[in-house]
Each structure stands twice: as C-alpha cells, then as structure tokens.
C-alpha cells in the first residue's frame, strides 16, 4: 500500500484520495495505522487530534500529508510509512559502524536484515553495551545525536572501588577533562560491593567515551558499562543482541521531541542527520 491509499476495509471511500485540496484527515490517520477510519473520526470529534498544533474537530478537514503535522493526544504521528525505527541492545564487542575498516564485527549484521538503509544514532564504543537506535529518519537522528538538543542518556556503570556521596557530588558539579569540563546531569549510587560500586550516570553530552573518562577522572575506572536509556526510550528486558521496532507510543514520544526541536529552528535535513549520527563520538 502506498502512503496515502485508502485502506482496503474502507468500502465506501472514493477511488482517488490525493485530491488538489488535500486528503481527508481520518483517511490519512487510517493509512498511517493510527486506527480504523471510523475510530479516527471518533478521535477527531472528541478533540484528540491536532494538525500543526491546532485541535481539529470537523470531519471534513483535509490535509497535505507530506507537509502537515498530525498529533493524537499530544503524541506526534508518523505519516510516512517509509521511515523505520528500531531499538538494538548492542552487545560488547560490536563496533558502532556500518562498515568497519578494520574488519571488526559491526552493525551491518543487524541493519542488513531490513530493506531500508538504516544508520545508527550516535555510537557506543566496542566495550560498551546497550541501547542504540537504528533508523532512516535523518531529522530525528540529528535531534537525538546532537548535544545542543539536550536529549538525556542514562548509563549504568560498574566501577572499581567504593563510590562515596562526595564523588557523586563531584560528578554532578563537574570535572575537568583534557577537552574541557563536563558535569553529569544526574549521578547516583545504586549498589556497593566489596571491591566495586554500581553507579547510574545521566548526561546529554556526546563527547568521546565521556562516561568512562569522567569516572576515571574521579578515581573509579569502569569495569562494565551499559546504556539503559536514550531520551524516552528504555532497554527494558531486551536481551543483548536483540532488536525490536519501537512501539507507537515510543515513536510518538520521539517524534514529538523532534518536532519541538524543529519548532525552534534547530534541526537539520535528512542528509545532515545521517552524517551526524554516523560521525557522533563514541560514548
């Protein structure tokens, strides 16, 4: 089915939908998989649907699916079915590259399973496991990967030694590294063992191996590191090496975040997004 064809169960719809004055909103919603045409009509009448930030309640509203932005209950809806969004729990030993020049295991073993040309949003170094997003949506990738947009990422680190409250305060206040000062948005102690501590670090920086360098700077070298969350996304129970497509709720949260950023005029085009995702420093 092409992006804006009438779903097959819409028996009463006219054959042609791409009319000069646009496509009926409920048909666009149905084609995007939001709900059936009739349920979409109910959502519109209930005032739960907005177009370009304006609540729509009339069923006769027509939109341009290529340019208008639709939201349901405040969550953005992706009207382009060619876009794909996949969560990967990257295992240790995999390089965050689509074609590693040294022949090391890379992300191509995962992306080759999809017809679309997917790229990774940001990177994790080979020794770090955890959440990576694979997508072909450059606008979204640009917002998520660029530190200026302040998208938070949370890491769980097993470190050497017993971390004290004073050390956590230092991480939050900021430490000086060779490429400049850096402060965690949040740092907390999860557990203390005889020779190791488990620390949660949240930050928005995308600087190279930043979590490892921060913890090393306060005297607690990292033994094991995993990224548990990226913006509103969380690994949950996804096993190492596992993949899954984002749920509609998760995708709506990401798209809403991206639209808010673009509303401030900061997001780049698809090409820029892809470049920033691939070139982002390893975390």
Active-site residue set:
125
Local structure of residue 247 (DSSP, 8 states): P
- CA of 129: how far to CAs of 11, 31, 242, in Å? 49, 36, 12
Closest-CA residue to 257 (of 144, 146, 123): 144
Strands 128-135 and 85-90: antiparallel
Cα(121)–Cα(149) distance, rounded to whole angstroms? 14
Residue 245 backbone zone (phi > 0: left; psi -120 to 50: alpha; other: beta): beta
Cα(179)–Cα(50) distance, rounded to whole angstroms? 44
Q: How many CA atoms lie within 13 A of 114 on its CB side?
A: 19
- Residues 6+ positions from 136 with CB-CB distance below 8 Å: 82, 83, 84, 116, 117, 118, 119
């Amino acid at each position: 089915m092409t992006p804006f064809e009438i779903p097959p169960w819409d028996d009463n719809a006219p054959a042609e939908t791409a009319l000069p004055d646009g496509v009926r909103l409920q048909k666009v919603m149905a084609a995007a998989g939001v709900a059936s045409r009739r349920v979409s009509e109910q959502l519109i009448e209930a005032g739960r649907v907005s177009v370009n930030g304006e609540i729509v309640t009339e069923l006769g509203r027509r939109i341009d699916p290529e340019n208008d932005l639709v939201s349901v209950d405040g969550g953005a809806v992706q009207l382009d079915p060619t876009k794909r969004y996949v969560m990967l729990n990257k295992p240790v030993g995999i390089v965050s590259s689509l074609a590693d020049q040294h022949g090391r295991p890379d992300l191509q073993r995962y992306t080759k399973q999809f017809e679309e040309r997917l790229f990774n949003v940001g990177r994790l170094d080979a020794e770090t496991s955890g959440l990576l997003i694979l997508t072909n949506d450059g606008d979204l990738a640009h917002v998520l990967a660029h530190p200026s947009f302040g998208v938070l990422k949370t890491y769980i680190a097993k470190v050497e030694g017993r971390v004290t409250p004073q050390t956590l305060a230092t991480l939050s206040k900021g430490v000086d590294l060779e490429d400049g000062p850096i402060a965690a948005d949040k740092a907390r102690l999860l557990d203390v063992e005889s020779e190791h501590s488990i620390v949660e670090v949240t930050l928005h920086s995308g600087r190279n191996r930043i979590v490892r360098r921060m913890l090393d700077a306060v005297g607690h070298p990292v033994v094991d590191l995993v990224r548990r969350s990226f913006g509103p996304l969380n690994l949950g129970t996804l096993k190492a090496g596992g993949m899954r497509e984002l749920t509609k709720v998760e995708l709506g949260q990401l798209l809403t975040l991206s639209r808010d950023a673009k509303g401030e005029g900061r997001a780049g085009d698809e090409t820029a997004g892809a470049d920033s995702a691939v070139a982002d420093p390893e975390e």
